[in-house]
Structure 1
Amino acid sequence: MSNESNTKTKYIKLILILGSLTALGPFSIDMYLPGFAGIAKDLNTSVANVSMTLSSYFIGISAGQLLYGPLLDRFGRKKPLFIGLLVYILASLGCFFVTDINTFIGLRFIQALGSCAATVASVSMVRDLFPVKDIPKVFSLLMLVVGLSPMLAPTIGGYITADYGWHTVFFILMCLGILILLAAHFGLPNTYKPDTSISLKPKPIITNFIGIVKEPQFYTYAFTGAVAFSGLFTYVAACPILFMDIFKVDAKVYGWIFAFMSLSFISASQLNSVLLNRFKSEQMIFGALISQSVIVIVFLILSMNGLLGLYGTITMLFLFLACLGISNPNTAGLTLAPFTRNAGSASALMGAIQLGLGALASFAVGIFVKNSSVPMVVIMTVTTLLALLILILGKRTIKKTTKTSHDEGIAILD
């Protein structure tokens, strides 16, 4: 019995460390949001310019994923992770002392490059440490940590900004980086032997990425997941405009609404763990996307006819995010399932696709969402239906490939 409880303790410890690695990015994105007005005032610039520091962070995270994938496969998981975390710690320290907006935008880009070492390493290590059948469950637990970040980060950031100023937020992020570095050093096993056959020259790296993308299971689930998930980025980008400008709620109420919405995503990803005992990941994704399609079509019809007030909008968004909480851990698990040797590159590519499409969706929100919720719902409807279409067409390709390789196997046996 003690052996089993030892395994369970070890399992929880691994999940906690991997979860904190995964949460570093969301915390770095959300924690300084309440300080935007203060930052603009201190750096003699506009809030619009301050929001460029968010865009540069997204670009850094998306580009950095592709950089770390090959490094994690070539040098093992720990070295690139520690270098990334050191870059993050130094960039956070730089943000603490920053005095002009352009330096700040640059430092946020470097901070993102550092933090995504943590994200890519944690996803790769899930693939190294746990059996394939447990991976969606582990991702559900990591979603719990990632889901808690947008609930906690803006609230904590708000109090810190109010009492100690926005600079302190970056000092705390630096300390967080140091704690996570120590936890990873002492608490994580060396899960993967460095593979010296993996080259770091651009051509082999690109060839490797092309090889991964050509795998039908990868492109089907990576794009299904990323296109569906861009609905979450759409919501996060439109949320302040929707609630504070259109529905005129104050900042504190907005914080509570944001926390309530995060609850939907988290509880759904936990419900997913339970449902996986009865259903396969493939069934869960299909069911979640069908439900999501019905929800967005109803949402669109109601919002176009002006039939939704504040509470109606909150309800529809709550249901929409719950569907994402169910599909996301499953698409991530199935995307990475075919890869052992280059799981680092595969998880990096998956993350880059997700963040790239998410950045596009939030950019579209910036252009179209002004004084009505309709453009936001239109973007959500388009992405949901497109994700469903990719899933249906992609599943046919997977079936064909499996059938072909099965037939070839029989031919060889003959």
Structure 2
Amino acid sequence: MTIQNTGAGHELASARAPASVSADIVVLAALAAVGSFATSILLPSLPAIAKTLNVSTAAVASAISIYLAVFAAGQLVVGPLSDRYGRWKPVMFGLGIFVIGSIWCQFAADLPMLLIGRSIQALGACAASVLSRAVARDLLSGEALTRALAFIMVAMSAAPGFSPLIGGLLDSTFGWRSEFFAVALFGAIVALAYLRYVGETHRPDNAVSIQLGAILRGYWGLFTDLRFIAPAGAIGLYMGALFAMFSGTPRVLIDGLGFTPIQLGLFFAGTVFIVFGSGIAAPRLAMKIGHARATVVGLVIATAGGAALLLAHWLTPTIWSYLIPVLIFLAGFGMVSPLATATALQPFGDRAGLASALIGFLQMAGAAAGVSLTASIASATLAIGLVQAALATAGLILYLAGLRRM
């Protein structure tokens, strides 16, 4: 990698480093996966954790909700700090906190201790998520950025698909505490890889204010700029549609069609390959028909999947009447995620940390909305189809509204 001296004791990774960009992006993909890997690895172990800590499974599930809440809020702090102090320190500090929180959870003796550990975990993980995108924007632009973000987003999407299977295997072999050890080990490996292959990518800028008023004005400026909020808001809405599917699928497949938990885990793992394929194809399509048109294609495909699932509610329930619309939605989502993220980040290279943080917050807010809306409707297929169709349509309209400004 070509490097420059920052004059501050760290090396600044050059944006023109084609020889090692592949290694960079692999590390950034792993960095992006840290948070989502830790989110869902303990899902198969909730009953076992509840038994050990002598609480209900519903109470243990709060370890997931508190993780998501801290994760969402923490991003808004990490973003502007990384614009002021550079990326290297927040990444290393965040991964260090993540490892400490994971070890804390491993030795939790009661539920409050577990919840504290999960909060510490989330504080560290949010830095990894935000800065994976910001660092990519530091290093790359244009179609190269789109390709990198496609790989990063695939990793972020794959982690929650595979981590329950990994968690279930660890739980059945070594017990649920081993899951937190595995997560801590993963965080430590990513930190070492970041030191080796990425380093500093953004020169510290004392001109960037970290006073609350300045930060809020910065976020408001992004929120009211159609170049940002149209693609970023669309990502948040489509993330809500995705989590509507994640949260409602157990009701459809286990309660409705008699799937076992293992079969459900395999279903989720299988969906990763659809997102992977469409995510890799998205940059190639963008090169052929243009970035904006390719994004619209993805939006339309995902919206069609949501609409098809809504219509399937009135059909005889089978695995195919559910699976086909879900796969259509995921194919579109896999395209939208990297393309819209690149569109939102592209004009704001000088504020990449701030912009990435707001993208992450909108994603988490959308996910929370999707889960809440789906849970409020009794029929699972109607809930998922209605929420997916509504949020996807809203995302398509929002993106089209801002298209002329992009």
TM-score by length of 2: 0.92
Residue in 2 aligned with 1:341? Answer: 350
Deviation readout 1:127-182 (Å, 9 max, x if unpaired): 01112231111111112322332333111111100010001100111111111111
State, as a whole percentage, how many aligned pairs show the same letter: 26
Paired position in structure 2 for 1:106 = 116
- 1:334-381 per-position Cα deviation (integer Å, ceiling 9, x unaligned): 00111121111011011101111211211222332x453111111111
- Verify the 8 A CA contact 1:56 1:106 in the aligned structure 2: no
Specify the alignment match of 1:355 in structure 2. 364
Residue aligning to 2:399: 391
Question: C-alpha separation between the residues in 2 aligned to 1:10 and 1:392?
Answer: 36
Partner of 2:247: 237
Taking the aligned partners of 2:188 and 2:202, their CA distance within structure 1 comes to: 23
Deviation string for 1:291-335 (max 9, x for gaps)? 3333322321221x2333122201111111111001111110000
- TM-score, normalised to structure 1's length? 0.91
CA–CA distance in structure 2, aligned partners of residues 83 and 195 of structure 1? 18
The question of whether the paired residues in 2 share the 8 Å contact of 1:228 and 1:387 is answered with yes
Name the structure 2 match of 1:137. Answer: 147
**Segment of structure 1 superposing worse, 42-51 or 141-150:** 141-150
Closer, same or farther in 2 for the Cα pair 1:256/1:325, shift >3 Å?
A: same
User: Aligned partners of 1:375 and 1:311: how far apart in 2?
Assistant: 18
CA distance in 2: counterparts of 1:249 and 1:339, whole angstroms: 46
1:210 offset after TM fit, Å? 1.3
Name the counterpart of 1:322. Answer: 331
Q: State whether structure 2 residue 264 is matched by structure 1 residue 251.
A: no
Larger CA Rg, structure 1 vs 2: 1
**Ranges in structure 1 where 5+ consecutive residues have no aligned partner:** 1-5, 400-414
Name the residue aligned to 1:409.
Answer: none
AA aligned to 2:75 is Q
Residue 388 of structure 2 is aligned to residue 376 of structure 1: no
Distance 1:240 1:343, change over 3 A: same
Query: Shift of residue 12 of structure 1?
Result: 1.4
Higher mean C-alpha displacement, 145-154 vs 96-105 = 145-154
Q: Which of 75, 83, 88 is the equivalent residue of 1:73?
A: 83
Could you say what the CA RMSD is over the residues aligned between the two structures, in angstroms? 1.7
Query: Partner letter of residue 213 of structure 1?
Result: F
Alpha-carbon separation, structure 1, partners of 2:238 and 2:359: 13
Corresponding residue number in structure 2 for 1:312: 321
Alignment gaps of 5+ in structure 2? 1-15
1:343 maps to a residue whose letter is A
Number of aligned residue pairs: 391
Q: Which amino acid aligns with 2:21?
A: Y
Q: Show CA shifts across 1:229-249 (max 9, x none).
A: 211111111122221122220
The answer (yes or no) to whether the contact 2:301–2:331 under 8 Å persists in 1 is no
SS for the counterpart of 2:348 is coil
1:307 aligned partner, one-letter code: T
Shift of 1:9: 5.2
Amino acid at match of 1:170: F
Q: Over residues 188-220 of structure 1, what are the superposed CA-to-partner deviations in whole Å (9 max), with x where a residue is unaligned?
A: 132111010112211111111112222220011
CA contact (8 A) 1:147 1:263 kept: no
Amino acid aligned to 1:374: L
Query: Do 2:24 and 2:197's aligned partners in 1 also have CA atoms closer than 8 Å?
Result: yes
Q: Is residue 94–residue 107 contact of structure 1 (8 Å, CA) maintained in 2?
A: yes
Out of 245, 264, 267, the position equivalent to 2:274 is 264
Residue equivalent to 2:375:
366
In the aligned structure 2, how far is the partner of 1:46 from the partner of 1:64?
Answer: 28
Secondary structure of 1:308's match? coil
CA distance in 2, matches of 1:183, 1:141: 17
Query: Aligned pair 1:210/2:223, yes or no?
Result: no
CA contact 1:234–1:376 (8 Å) conserved in 2: yes
d(CA) in 2 for partners of 1:213, 1:183: 34
Alignment of 1:6-25 (within 5 A): 10-25=20-35
SS at match of 2:316: coil
1:8 is displaced (CA, Å) by 5.7
